[in-house]
A and B are shown apart, each in its own frame.
Chain A
Amino acid sequence: MNPGATPGESPARVRVTAPRDAPPVPGPTLQPGTPEDFYLRSLIRSQLRLSLSVAAGFTVLLLVIAVLIAFWPQIHEIRVGTVPIAWLLLGAGIYPIILAAAALYNRACTRNERRYRDLASRP
């Protein structure tokens, strides 16, 4: 990058290299036992709990559908128009659920972070 280059004129090539080692890790750490460290730990815990519960809910839903289809063959007889209900569910119905889960998660996640910011910035 050549800061002196005028627009339109192509800047001189400068050899640039990627960081040879890993990106820097933050130097001073949060001391264990301080409020900052406590807030951060509880942020991570609540984020993990949130992610796990959304993931678990969704996975259980998928498993229920898979088990239902495996052990209840009559489900193939139920049709909406000519389309069996299992096809509707798997081919279209699951996608809105995925989107709703994502939207729900993003809202809750942002709320967790806001709560953390409020706590951490309190004098």
Chain B
Amino acid sequence: MSTPVLAGANTAAALAAVVLVTAATVLIAVNGLRLSRTTSDFYVASRTVKPWWNASAIGGEYLSAASFLGVAGLIVVSGEEGLWFPIGYTAGYLMLLLFVAAPLRRSGAYTLPDFAQMRLGGRLPRLVTSALVVAVGWLYIVPQLHGAALTLGITTALPRWAGPVAVTGIVCLTVLAGGMRSITFVQAFQYWLKLAALAVPTIFLLLHLGATGESVTAGGAAFDRLPAQEAGSAALGVPTGDLTLYQTVSLILALLFGTLGLPHVLVRFYTNPDGPSARRTTAIVLGLLAVFYLFPTVLGVIGRAHLPGLVASADADATVLLLPGALVGGVAGDLLTALVAGGAFAAFLSTSSGLVVSLAGVMSQELFGGTVRGFRIAALLACAVPLGIALLTGTAALAGAIGAVFAFTASTICPLLLLGIWWRGLTGRGAVAGMLTGAVSCGGALAAAQLLPAGYTVAGLAVVGILQQPAAITVPLAFLVTVGVSKASSAPGGRRAAQVMARLHAPEDADGLDGLPEEISRWRP
């Protein structure tokens, strides 16, 4: 099945919606420019953002192309196994709440490398963390740009390079204009836009199917296993075949613990005024995500029932874009398609700009002395590299590509954060060794899975299936190496660790912390 390009009046409406979303984004960002003046504004929005705003912004930033387009596409292609992805994306925030949210907020660090240096001291942990953050960010932006190429390619007559170039340009502009402060408002707005852009078509489609008397699930056939499914699933990196259980467990592990290490997610937590508000914010985020994922799931089921041709096509990720036109048609179909296209664009813009802000923050501190000018140069760099990669590589399945990034962060940054926050014994050497082990083993496995032929076996074992989902092996390995090297290299750093632990875990308004200076024990934004 060739790419089902929509034609006619659709093009104009979808293009108008994309332009509208873009204009709104730029407008809010430029407004934010008047408010952001200091470096603190640029990096963390002066830490004055309220939980509801911040939660909406986190949701807006987190719901990327993989969520907006990819989840429904996965469900169309893989059915039941695809449902694990949104569960993992949501439950990742539960882990973030349990282990990271409040202590990380209390650490007072601007970025992940700041946290590494504060906790461990020395240059090396900071450098390694910075390099990893930049690599993760770049890898995560690329699928957003691929999603933009897909969306514009299907809903308008524009060539495939137009989407990535447009997203990169707009993101660069907004980030240069306002930094994090304006980004917060943009992101919060974009969560609700994305929710509406999927909720309205979903409800409309359900009502439409109800009115025409068609079964939403094609009499339950939507849930049957399809013949074309196995091959498609394997190519997407969705658990399948003999290794389903291993791959499912590995995928869950990657998604649960990968969220902890995403740079654009972490930087958001610095914008909460204190630890308890960071926890409240995270709980609200969980609610927002749970509500959101209902809609792509339902759309995926409708897609399975009513667009079965998509399973075998390369454009299953376009399911949510194609459904309104295929089922409703006419002007209503065109308008709904335009709404979805606008929402999809909001997803690419918000995730990419969040990533660019955090990457620029890290790079400018590392390379340009942390000035506002340096931040802007770094923002340009953070935009340019993924654009180059996206234009040079073909479109991969969105949710699968993002799943690989989660496995990588779970194997590298997650051990640093979890052990840094909860274990006094972590040393700089241990953290560096663990991060490098995780990066090499997980990165190597993912690369090998791409290079080896699909049917490659070693002693009868389908190695490629294991390499595709390496988290179940590489995450424990990274933890083991971190702990082992820390124990072997235990320096007389216990005093520093104890100080940092006091700062991370003591409530902000606790009395009796006589040992801690006023700014720590009674700190208020």
Contacts and interface: CB of A to CB of B under 8 A. Distances in A.
Interface of A: 1, 10-11, 13-23, 25-32, 34, 36-37, 39-40, 43-44, 47-48, 51, 54-55, 58-59, 62-63, 66-67, 69-70, 76, 79, 82-84, 86-87, 90-92, 94-96, 98-99, 101-103, 105-106, 109-110, 113, 116-117, 120-122
Interface stretch (B212-220, B321-329, B334-342): B212-220
B84 A26 contact: no
Contact of A101 (B38, B94, B99, B515): B94
Given A26-B502, A109-B279, A20 B97 contact: no
Contacts of B507: 113, 116-117
Contact of A90 (B80, B110, B364): B80
B507 to A, nearest CB: 4
B513 A120 contact: yes
A36 B512 CA distance: 7
Contacts of A121: 510-512
Contact of A55 (B99, B219, B294, B516): B99
Interface stretch (B19-27, B130-138, B283-291): B283-291
A1 B90 CA distance: 40
A10 B37 CA distance: 10
Interface in B171-194: none
Contact of A18 (B43, B495, B509, B514): B43
A30 B510 CA distance: 14
The 7 closest A-B pairs by CB, nearest first: A121-B511, A18-B370, A82-B220, A120-B512, A22-B117, A95-B290, A90-B83
B503 interface: yes
Contact of B118 (A14, A22, A70, A105): A22
Contacts of B245: 66-67, 70
A87 B80 CA distance: 6
B282 interface: yes
Nearest to A94: B87
Given A84-B223, A106-B279, A117-B507, A16 B39 contact: yes
Interface string B481-525: 000000000000001101111110111011111111100100000
B512 A87 contact: no
A83 B87 contact: no
A113 B275 CA distance: 11
24 contacts: A16-B39, A16-B40, A20-B369, A22-B118, A23-B110, A23-B118, A26-B517, A29-B502, A29-B515, A37-B515, A63-B249, A66-B249, A70-B248, A84-B80, A84-B223, A91-B294, A95-B90, A99-B290, A103-B283, A113-B276, A113-B507, A117-B507, A121-B510, A122-B512
Interface residues of B, number: 79
A20 B326 CA distance: 56
Contacts of B512: 36, 39, 120-122
Contacts of B505: 40, 43-44, 47
Interface SS of chain B: helix
Contacts of A18: 39-40, 43, 110, 364-365, 370-371
Nearest to B86: A91
B370 A55 contact: no
Contacts of A102: 94, 97, 282-283, 286
B39 A40 contact: no
Contacts of B114: 22-23
B98 interface: yes
Nearest to B38: A16
Nearest to B225: A76
B240 to A, nearest CB: 12
A97 to B, nearest CB: 9
Given A20-B369, A25-B499, A102-B283, 9 more contacts: A15-B371, A29-B515, A47-B505, A51-B98, A62-B91, A66-B252, A90-B87, A117-B511, A120-B511
B37 A26 contact: no
A90 to B, nearest CB: 4
Given A25-B118, A59-B256, A82-B220, A19 B83 contact: no
Interface centre among A54, A94, A98, A109 (most CB of B within 10 A): A98
A17 B369 contact: yes
B244 A70 contact: yes
Contacts of B121: 22
B129 to A, nearest CB: 12
Contacts of B99: 51, 55
Nearest to B365: A18
Nearest to A120: B512
B306 to A, nearest CB: 14
Given A55-B99, A117-B510, A99 B287 contact: yes
Contacts of B496: 25
B109 interface: yes
A55 B276 contact: no
Given A1-B38, A21-B117, A116-B510, A30 B515 contact: yes
Nearest to A22: B117
B293 interface: yes
Contact of B217 (A47, A82, A101): A82
B37 A11 contact: yes
Nearest to A84: B223
Contacts of B95: 55
Given A20-B369, A95-B90, A98-B286, A30 B502 contact: yes
Contacts of A92: 294, 297
A67 B252 CA distance: 13
B503 to A, nearest CB: 5
B372 interface: yes
Given A66-B249, A106-B283, A25 B294 contact: no
A7 to B, nearest CB: 11
A9 B142 CA distance: 41
A71 to B, nearest CB: 8
